[in-house]
Structure 1
Amino acid sequence: MISRDRSNEVTGFQEGGPYHPSYDLQTDFVMVYGIRGDLKERIRAWKDKSYVVHLMTGVSWGGYQHYLNGEVDGRTHWDEAQKNRRNEHIIHGTSVDIPYMVPTIAYADFLTEQIRVAVDAGVEAIHLEEPEFWVEGGYSDAFKREWEIYYREPWQPPHATVDAQYRASKLKVHLYARTLDRICNTLKEYAKVKYDRNIRFYVPTHSLINYTQWRIVSPESKLLELPGVDGYIAQVWTGTAQTPNVYNGVRKERTFETAFLEYGIMQELVRGTDRRMWFLHDPIADDPKHTWEDYRQNYIRTLVASLLHPHVSRYEVCPWPRRIYQGTYPKQGEEGRVNIPAAYATELQVVLNTLADMDQPDTEWLTSNLQIGVLLADSAMFQRNHPDWSEEATAFKYDGTEVASALGSEFMELLDWSPFYGLTLPLLKHGAAVRPVQLDNAGRFAGYLDDYKALVLSYEYMKPESAGLHNVLAEWVKDGGALVYVGDGSDDFHRVREWWNQGTKKYASPMEHLFTCLGLEASLQPGVYSVGQGSLAYLNVHPAQCALQADVADQLRSTVREALAAAGSSQGQDAVASQQWDTMNSMALRRGPYVVAAVLEESVDALPFVLNGMYVDLLNADLPVLHEVAIAPGQQALLYDLSRAGNGVRLVAAASRIDAVEERDNGFAFVARGPEGIQASARFRCPRKPEQVVLGAADGSKSQGAYVWDEASETVLLRYDNSPNGVQVEILW
């Protein structure tokens, strides 16, 4: 009745330390982190514990001092370290000898040789983490050389003009795409020739939203053009999602909403492909100054946000479990530091084992399922520095290791990225299932936009890569789509040397070219226009104003409704009904027996979302059975609906890995495995009240187990101490 095969690689985690039973999480795979002397020993230790073993290493930074100092090839490579306009090295963390790198050919070949050791050691897959080039970079000698090779012209300081900034960012994307392509293809061939083995390569990367907000350039959707890349990890967690943004003029953390949008754009890297995606969660964060209660609240927000995207069902359940299960963090309201609370440790084990069961064939929205896409392009990363900004601002670097709200106002404003949040939060806060949609992919995949009835677009903070994208958008509109364009043409980056203003094309902005492709005037007046069976609505405001002013946010919502109505009216009453946007403050999705729900603050009302029935609360270590669930604004829930449990013995949830359950005439039995030192809870649906629970240890000893029977739900709650060696549990009628 339960089948969990580790070869499916549904859940995993990354860890740089040696094996330890306190963080033996019993996922399917583990990513040993870092290339250093004890790599083979770490790989062997995790393999001995039955894990599928991967390797993860940084592709833009790492402990590569021997390369920098000339020990590898006799030539020092500090000229390849990223530098800002002050001629300062851009450093990872606080170690002055670990800079972010300009990915040259020599650097790519160095990494290839370093990683070859892991291939020889038998890892199944390799993760090349975080290909990152900071926006303020572009001043090192290596980058200047690459500029002259790529553009066939003298290097220009990126801060000199908007054109230089834009072109520097395009080059940064090219360099990391080239590096990843070279490493992946070289080592795939090596593994095939030497071992007749197919090795896989994945790229753990922050979302396009976060990289743009934090002012980092990365290949993002360009990775789809690299055949050697097999998939990705969406590095979305409390640290990225807690970055403040502005809605109705108020700047604050909106962790759930930000995470929902981040996971949404990451899903676009695999939609319509056969590549894998794991969504990352982190029960704590890189910033060690928070309390356990703070970590837990924000972890739940990101967790639930991810589960509201049902097309992804693989998860990295945490990075660095050692810092979770062995680390200490500040106490709530008093001096001192404490280890993880026992209840939170149990709860986390329940969640990560539940995540292994999220590939459910039947999904259903319990609230409004109107999807409104907000188009987003990689070029948004290219516009996050400006010549008019101060030298201090253009050299500013934020990486999430401190609380953004503690920064000065000038730097907080740099992180706002209000044009994007101005187009998304006003819709999301009123109940639309907003999905960031990768504009670049519209030119890569036929029918990519077909799932959407409404799309929102602005070129005031990004630009289209090619004119062909507008042909795709025009066809989509003519076939019945509602396109809402928001922009006032004021963005300085409209002047960069690009296709819309080169050769025979003389458009002031790509917006004008889009309008002509739709058969409309380039200098269009604001309003709603019918185009074929669809519509274009043009709102002549800068999208940042939709974040700053509540009345402009209302204008945006009204314009979207008008566009939907105009497109629907040309297609008949059924189309009008299917494109109805019902405003609400809640989002709820059923995934098989699981119900995932969130209620938004700053929304249309403050009413709770109420469910009646019989549910198990999976975010409570006691796994209580609830007959009514009321989710208040600002809260989230993950529930198991017992009406979907089926008959006979059924596992509802457990803080252990349980691969199989053996049903017997006098009861049932299973083996539970989990990290040492953590108490487990497990709830089962069973047809009869147990008379006895017997626990068997790995040494053969047996003891009586604790249990609580719930007559109304016909479920039993079991408690026992986890062990990575396994606990034999027998339930006797």
Structure 2
Amino acid sequence: MSRDRQEERTGFQESAPYHPDYDLQTDFVMVYGIDESMPERIKQWKDKGYIVHLMTGVAWGEYNDYLDGEVDGIPHWDEAQMDRHQQMILHGNKPVIPYMVPTISFGRYLAERIRIAVDAGVEAIHLEEPEFWVNGGYSEAFKREWQLYYKESWIPPHASPDAQYRASKLKAYLYTRALDRLCAEMKDYALQRYGRVLRFYVPTHSLINYTQWRIVSPQSQLVELASIDGYIAQIWTGTSRTANVYEGVRAERTFETAYLEYGVMQELVRGTDRRMWFLHDPIEDNPNYTWADYKQNYLKTVVASLLHPGVAHYEVAPWPRRIFQGTYPTEEGSGKERIPADYATTLLQVMHTLGNLDQNVTEMNKDPLQVGVLIADSAMFQRMKPDPEAPNPGKYDGTDPEGFQEEGDTELLDFSPFYGLALPLLKHGLPVRPLLLDNVRRYPGYLAPYRVLVLSYEFIKPQYPDVHYVLAQWVQEGGALIYVGDDSDPYHDIRAWWNLDQEEGRSGTKYHSPREHLFEQLGLKEKAGGAHRIGKGGIVWLNEHPAEFTRSRAAADRLRQSVHDIIAALNPPAIQWEPRPYFKMRRGPYIIVSTLNESVSEEPLVISGPVVDLFDSKLSVLSQVVLKPGEQALLYDVESGRPATGEVSLIAASSRIESLSESGTGFQFLAKGPARLQATARLYSKVKPVSAHYMVQGQAVSAAWEWDPDSQTVLVQYEHGNENNTEVHVRWSS
């Protein structure tokens, strides 16, 4: 498991100066924030052997010197995002930190601040969370941008569906422009000044979450920017625990939501040379949960991410200081407590295991069926009720779920049109992948791996008509398309390419909805709903709104039956879908499993050993694992991972293990990790040990150890030293 830090497989972000208590010993660290302390913080982490990146907010931050006019003598408070009541949309109150309209002037300000980080020697820059809230679009700066972009006077976004759609489209463009200009300028500066190729990444929530929380961001538009080198998929319990509705029940479904979120983020890099890190967070921005709650949901997100083997790089934690130094409510509600010792050990085990997940993949239950549910950036553009008299919906960021209960807001937050298409299939064990509709026109063969697609234009809109030519060809060549929609969405009437005769000075064929144009390409202009054979493929039209499939089990069954029927009609011998209540995958010696509740069976899933439980702080060797519905596991297959030569080899550890060596009398290694934390390591050992110790300030301290004769492995327990380095010695003989 030893690796070069240059691989940058694992990293974390931290705004505080270096401290041994949260030195996670990953490959790189993202120093957060561009205040006056930034150069010194960069130096501190670099001196500890880290590859150092910089991260800062591109939509918000402590940029009050710019807002107050200290930078250029011109106040810029009119560039704060504003809602229709002329209230600033804030990220923080002390000091006042508004979300920004990314003007040209604001981009210049960020460039000058980031230039200091380039001078300090960082190797990469992360411009975090380009976010424009749906209920924004009322500031003077935004009105000016509207006039320049649309060449017409500003229209209040709440005035009509068309105004809302156009406002959101402009918001996405503004952040695309800001990122492209900023990244290109700083790359040019670094290369000319230092001969260094600077890399730029965008840490961003998933398209699913941004749509659900009603935030606009560039998302797949970033694929078209040559200046962007990759992304961090900011998916964690705070996004994935957002409730949705399935079979009539609104509830948190953290695993399922995370699975879909990581899936759509993988689509930003599939088939490209760009880097993607999947993020996990052992806690979240809402500080009101217990450690037990945080742990349960954290493990769900980890397993959900590992079931997407196209990515093997991870941000193991944002803000480790708040994990290892913060306090959270006790189970009894009598106060707050720091992280339990065994959970801290488990966290570190998982974090270091993540650095070794670049493994060959074997699907343990092979299923040739690949199903895509299409989604697009335009989902973010129509997330306001088209009623000028409706109350202005508030800002939801996951930190106050109980307080977001205004009339109609909860239903809008559910994002049922999407989940109505995805959850009925996912809950029955079908590996659903959210696919980016806009990528259909970007990448030839983008749809080739998929045999079944599910599409609805009731919550997304195609930006260009040529996607329909690709979809029609895919169906002709054997694809099965399930279209769900009743043309009831008021956003069908926006000014768009399918409404050409509504645009001034233009004429052409008018379609009531983009579905009509798609069906025309499929030869279905005059045909009604139901199933239709087209070439080697076919289409099923379910003439109802996709949100209906969240309302009951019978409704979910109708969607599932449509998938079964079209599969049977088109390719009976080639494709089979056997519903199952779990997902299971092997990546090298690692077995990743999630069982499903609300599924086809309540029977537990049994996995035979010997396996090491990587979610157990003692790294127990188990002869079998029994998982009840809704549980997850990350296991190490002892026999699959055993070294062929029989030498000492590491299975897992809650430390970064270096300098592992053996001699005739035993073996030793150097363990690195956060100071004073209890640590464990399990290793293959051809001989039963007789003793173990670790060094503390030059003195040998006896280490607890446990031999497992059946697996021929030994568990060693020790403590990280004050300086994060611990020498561990295991003896076979004295």
TM-score by length of 1: 0.97
- What residue number does 1:590 align with? 586
In 2: Cα distance, 1:228 partner to 1:505 partner:
38
Is the aligned partner of 1:657 residue 2:656?
yes
Is the contact between residue 367 and residue 589 of structure 1 (CA under 8 Å) also seen in structure 2?
no
- What residue number does 1:92 align with? 91
In 1: Cα distance, 2:364 partner to 2:41 partner:
43
Is the aligned partner of 1:203 residue 2:202?
yes
Match of 2:609 among 608, 613, 616: 613
Give the 3 Å change call, closer, same or farther, for CA 625–511 of structure 1 in structure 2. same
Greater shift after overlay, 661-670 or 458-467? 661-670
- What residue number does 2:299 align with? 300
- What residue number does 1:448 align with? 446
Deviation sequence 1:474-528 (CA, Å, 0-9, x none): 111111111110001100001111111214231111111111111222x431111
Is the contact between residue 440 and residue 467 of structure 2 (CA under 8 Å) also seen in structure 1?
yes
Give, in angstroms, the shift of residue 386 of structure 1.
Answer: 2.1
Give the 3 Å change call, closer, same or farther, for CA 68–107 of structure 1 in structure 2. same
- What residue number does 1:498 align with? 496
Q: How does 1:531-546 map to 2 (within 5 A)?
A: 531-546=534-549
Give, in angstroms, the shift of residue 362 of structure 1.
Answer: 3.2
Secondary structure in 2 aligned to 1:583?
A: coil
Deviation sequence 1:286-315 (CA, Å, 0-9, x none): 000111001101111111111111111100
Give the 3 Å change call, closer, same or farther, for CA 148–389 of structure 1 in structure 2. closer
Greater shift after overlay, 605-614 or 312-321? 605-614
- What residue number does 1:472 align with? 470
Is the aligned partner of 1:695 residue 2:730?
no
- What residue number does 2:727 align with? 728
Match of 1:560 among 560, 563, 570: 563
In 2: Cα distance, 1:409 partner to 1:325 partner:
39
The aligned amino acid for 2:540 is A
Q: How does 1:419-430 map to 2 (within 5 A)?
A: 419-430=417-428
- What residue number does 1:231 align with? 230
Is the contact between residue 247 and residue 548 of structure 1 (CA under 8 Å) also seen in structure 2?
yes
- What residue number does 2:704 align with? 706
In 2: Cα distance, 1:611 partner to 1:675 partner:
33
Is the contact between residue 309 and residue 361 of structure 2 (CA under 8 Å) also seen in structure 1?
no
Give, in angstroms, the shift of residue 695 of structure 1.
Answer: 1.7
Is the contact between residue 12 and residue 29 of structure 2 (CA under 8 Å) also seen in structure 1?
yes
Secondary structure in 1 aligned to 2:498?
A: helix
Give, in angstroms, the shift of residue 705 of structure 1.
Answer: 2.1
In 2: Cα distance, 1:363 partner to 1:313 partner:
15
Secondary structure in 2 aligned to 1:577?
A: coil
The aligned amino acid for 1:68 is L
In 1: Cα distance, 2:681 partner to 2:471 partner:
51
Is the contact between residue 369 and residue 432 of structure 1 (CA under 8 Å) also seen in structure 2?
no
- What residue number does 1:635 align with? 631
In 2: Cα distance, 1:405 partner to 1:398 partner:
9
Secondary structure in 2 aligned to 1:598?
A: strand
Give the 3 Å change call, closer, same or farther, for CA 506–406 of structure 1 in structure 2. closer
The aligned amino acid for 1:543 is P
Greater shift after overlay, 86-95 or 375-384? 86-95
Secondary structure in 2 aligned to 1:357?
A: coil
Is the contact between residue 132 and residue 171 of structure 2 (CA under 8 Å) also seen in structure 1?
yes
TM-score by length of 2: 0.97
- What residue number does 2:514 align with? 510
Is the contact between residue 368 and residue 587 of structure 1 (CA under 8 Å) also seen in structure 2?
no
Deviation sequence 1:368-413 (CA, Å, 0-9, x none): 4632110000000001002327543x34110111235863463221
Is the contact between residue 344 and residue 621 of structure 1 (CA under 8 Å) also seen in structure 2?
yes
Secondary structure in 2 aligned to 1:323?
A: helix
- What residue number does 1:603 align with? 599
Give the 3 Å change call, closer, same or farther, for CA 291–12 of structure 1 in structure 2. same
Secondary structure in 1 aligned to 2:157?
A: coil
- What residue number does 2:524 align with? 520
Give the 3 Å change call, closer, same or farther, for CA 320–422 of structure 1 in structure 2. same
Secondary structure in 2 aligned to 1:277?
A: strand
Is the contact between residue 518 and residue 531 of structure 1 (CA under 8 Å) also seen in structure 2?
yes
Give the 3 Å change call, closer, same or farther, for CA 580–333 of structure 1 in structure 2. same
In 1: Cα distance, 2:369 partner to 2:650 partner:
34
In 1: Cα distance, 2:622 partner to 2:369 partner:
29
- What residue number does 1:396 align with? 394
In 1: Cα distance, 2:461 partner to 2:180 partner:
25
- What residue number does 2:80 align with? 81
Deviation sequence 1:614-642 (CA, Å, 0-9, x none): 01111010111111111110111111011
In 1: Cα distance, 2:406 partner to 2:138 partner:
26
- What residue number does 1:571 align with? none
In 2: Cα distance, 1:662 partner to 1:622 partner:
23
Give, in angstroms, the shift of residue 667 of structure 1.
Answer: 2.5
Is the contact between residue 483 and residue 541 of structure 2 (CA under 8 Å) also seen in structure 1?
yes
- What residue number does 1:581 align with? 577
Give, in angstroms, the shift of residue 117 of structure 1.
Answer: 0.3
Give, in angstroms, the shift of residue 670 of structure 1.
Answer: 1.3
Between the aligned residues of both structures, percent identity stands at 57
Is the contact between residue 247 and residue 553 of structure 2 (CA under 8 Å) also seen in structure 1?
yes
Greater shift after overlay, 646-655 or 135-144? 646-655
Q: How does 1:341-490 map to 2 (within 5 A)?
A: 341-366=340-365, 368=367, 370-388=369-387, 391-392=390-391, 394-404=392-402, 407-408=405-406, 410-490=408-488
CA RMSD, Structure 1 to Structure 2 (Å): 1.3
Give, in angstroms, the shift of residue 236 of structure 1.
Answer: 0.4
Give the 3 Å change call, closer, same or farther, for CA 303–696 of structure 1 in structure 2. same
Is the contact between residue 20 and residue 724 of structure 2 (CA under 8 Å) also seen in structure 1?
no
In 1: Cα distance, 2:325 partner to 2:48 partner:
20
Secondary structure in 1 aligned to 2:425?
A: helix
Is the contact between residue 486 and residue 541 of structure 1 (CA under 8 Å) also seen in structure 2?
yes
Q: Which stretches in structure 1 are left out of the alignment for 5+ residues?
A: 569-575
Secondary structure in 2 aligned to 1:345?
A: helix
The aligned amino acid for 1:519 is G
Give the 3 Å change call, closer, same or farther, for CA 578–365 of structure 1 in structure 2. farther
Is the contact between residue 159 and residue 388 of structure 2 (CA under 8 Å) also seen in structure 1?
no
In 2: Cα distance, 1:424 partner to 1:303 partner:
20
Deviation sequence 1:518-572 (CA, Å, 0-9, x none): 1222x4311111111111111111000001132221111111112222331xxxx
Greater shift after overlay, 254-263 or 699-708? 699-708
In 2: Cα distance, 1:608 partner to 1:651 partner:
31
Is the contact between residue 282 and residue 295 of structure 2 (CA under 8 Å) also seen in structure 1?
yes
In 2: Cα distance, 1:405 partner to 1:360 partner:
44
Is the contact between residue 135 and residue 215 of structure 1 (CA under 8 Å) also seen in structure 2?
yes
In 2: Cα distance, 1:344 partner to 1:31 partner:
24
The aligned amino acid for 2:564 is R
Give, in angstroms, the shift of residue 253 of structure 1.
Answer: 0.6
Q: How does 1:77-226 map to 2 (within 5 A)?
A: 77-95=76-94, 97-226=96-225
Q: Which stretches in structure 2 are left out of the alignment for 5+ residues?
A: 501-506
Give, in angstroms, the shift of residue 609 of structure 1.
Answer: 1.2
Give the 3 Å change call, closer, same or farther, for CA 656–551 of structure 1 in structure 2. same
- What residue number does 2:503 align with? none
Is the contact between residue 396 and residue 404 of structure 2 (CA under 8 Å) also seen in structure 1?
no
- What residue number does 1:572 align with? none
Is the aligned partner of 1:624 residue 2:636?
no
Deviation sequence 1:701-723 (CA, Å, 0-9, x none): 32332210011111100000013
- What residue number does 2:504 align with? none
- What residue number does 2:554 align with? 551
Q: How does 1:245-394 map to 2 (within 5 A)?
A: 245-366=244-365, 368=367, 370-388=369-387, 391-392=390-391, 394=392
Give, in angstroms, the shift of residue 330 of structure 1.
Answer: 0.6
In 2: Cα distance, 1:353 partner to 1:701 partner:
27
